[in-house]
Copies of this chain bind each other. A is one copy, B any other.
Amino acid sequence: MKPYIHKVQYYETDKMQFTHHSNYIRFMEEARIDLMEQLGWGYDKMEQEHIISPVIDISCHYKKSTSYPDVIKIIVTVEKLSSVKLILAYQMYVEDELVCESASTHCFLNETGKPINLKRQYPDFYSALENICH
């Protein structure tokens, strides 16, 4: 899969001169959605299919500060996949230096908030994710 590129915006910095740490959680979402779109399962497609995929867990390890106008390259990988749970791992680089490592855990719900068995109910989506699993 193609890495995702995020250019740090001026409004994403804070008075400590660096990218505010909360924004990396947003970069993760950008990269995650980009990955899903590359797989043919963008959030708009998921919404049409009535799949909701909330974040249930986030962890983020900040290795090195970044700032405007750094360009961050984000590599997303499927770390773990089951019928009911997805764990994605993110590695963020600025000029080949690792600046941040993080992970997000997701479940899959239908529109009424009930858990979905992804493997059984959306085998195409499940396969697409399985194919890029480590």
Contact = CB atoms under 8 A, between A and B. Distances in A.
Interface residues of A, number: 36
A33 B56 contact: no
Interface string A28-52: 0110010001000011100000001
A61 B16 CA distance: 26
A108 to B, nearest CB: 13
Nearest to A14: B13
A122 interface: no
Interface of A: 9-11, 13-18, 20-23, 25-26, 29-30, 33, 37, 42-44, 52, 54-62, 65, 67-69
Query: Which 7 residue pairs across A and B have the least CB separation, nearest first?
Result: A13-B15, A22-B25, A59-B59, A58-B60, A21-B55, A15-B17, A22-B26
